[in-house]
Amino acid sequence: MAKIMFFNHSATIGGIFSTFSTYAIALNKKHEVIFVHNRPATNRGKEMIGDVRLICLNVSRFRNSLPKLISLINTERPDVLISGGDQRNVFCILASRLSKVHPKVLISQHNYINVEYNSWVHKLCYRFYNLADGVLAVSRGIKEFLISEGVREEKVILQYNPIDIEKTLRMAECEPEVAISGDYLMFLGRLDPVKNLYYLIDAFGLVLQQYPKLKLVLVGDGQEKDNLMKHVNEKGLSGNVVFAGLQANPYAFLKRAKAMILSSFSEALPTVVIEALTLGKTVVATPTNGALDLLDNGRLGYFTTKFDDAAEMSEKIVLSLNQPFDETMLKNESKNFSVDKKVQELENIIANL
């Protein structure tokens, strides 16, 4: 039995926390697992982490977490330290090196680093990443990116994120909190610029020429919400576009959708695609590395060739409505991302550090 310490900035809803909580709960059945975070956990975060022991460092500024993390490592004496995210990865490597215990460090990269926005982080990352015992890349694109930026190939391990298939299927059977009549397409994610939603709305307007009663349901919230609502009104689409907001159970919406649409400019590993596969839903996506990876370059979903051609996107959406992918095939593919499979893979990685 190993003692495993996860480190994340917060214990609340978010991509990395969701992935780590899934791993932590499963690993806690056989190992001693501790989840360390900087800020107090939300009630939702506590629910998501289950019986895993939570330790809050109670620091508001991330940089202040390093001395407390080192002290905690010396006290708890973990065998391995797992982190995700640029600064957290660097801090975990430093904390292990500066501690008396020197646990193994397994860091993970979940996105592409923006060199212009985080130039100092970018420089630090690749100086320190090679000091880790292993670097998890959540997609082929991320693995290639890390290697191209100077992380040694032998350090980088491809490890897709897990999904709790049974939980997803169970939650999908619930009734949506927002009642939606008729057929609809669905987007699930942040309403942020990177999601390219103006393009999606414009494409949907063209789809309505063939399917005038169809709806587009946007599940999520974000900085672009007000502007998107204005755009919808200007296009005369307010009767067909539904802003459902942030939902605790998006799977209830996804189960009833005709297709899942992903219009992003960039995706490292879009978990929504795995969730769509789990529910047997056809996906239409822009050609981001993450979507191409998960949908096997078009074997499991439809793709556009561009990020700004609304007519092309509308054609792919119409194709998904007329010729959806086989539901059973998609569900079978999702089993490659099951919690049991991915946790076993992670255990093997930890054992071989």
Q: Are residues 117 and 40 in the same domain?
A: yes
Sequence-distant (6+) residues with CB within 8 A of 190 are: 220, 221, 222
91 Cβ contact list (under 8 Å, min separation 6) = 7, 62, 65, 66, 69, 83
Question: Residue 40: its pLDDT value, please?
Answer: 79
Specify the range with the lowest mean pLDDT, choosing from 37-41, 108-112, 145-149, 307-311: 37-41
Q: What is the Cα–Cα distance from 322 to 296, expressed in whole angstroms? A: 21
Contact 161, 142 (CB under 8 A): no
Domain range for residue 185? 166-336
Distance CA 76, CA 18 (A): 24
**Torsion 193-198-201-206 (CA) sign:** negative
Q: Are residues 17 and 97 in the same domain?
A: yes
Cα(180)–Cα(216) distance, rounded to whole angstroms?
A: 10
CA gap 122, 106 in Å, rounded: 18
pLDDT score recorded for residue 100: 97
| CATH assignment at residue 303 | 3.40.50.2000
Which pLDDT belongs to residue 116?
Answer: 41
Mean pLDDT of 3-31: 87
- Mean predicted lDDT score pLDDT of the chain: 92
pLDDT in tens, 286-322: 999 999 999 999 999 999 999 999 999 999 999 999 9
Closest among 287, 118, 119 to 196, alpha carbons compared: 287
Q: Are residues 303 and 346 in the same domain?
A: no
Q: Are residues 15 and 106 in the same domain?
A: yes
Give whole-number Cα distances, 59 to 41, 73, 98, 257, in Å: 12, 16, 19, 42
Q: Do 241 and 145 fall within a single domain?
A: no
* Total residue length of the chain: 353
Residues 24 and 102 in one domain: yes
- Mean pLDDT, rounded, for 117-133: 75
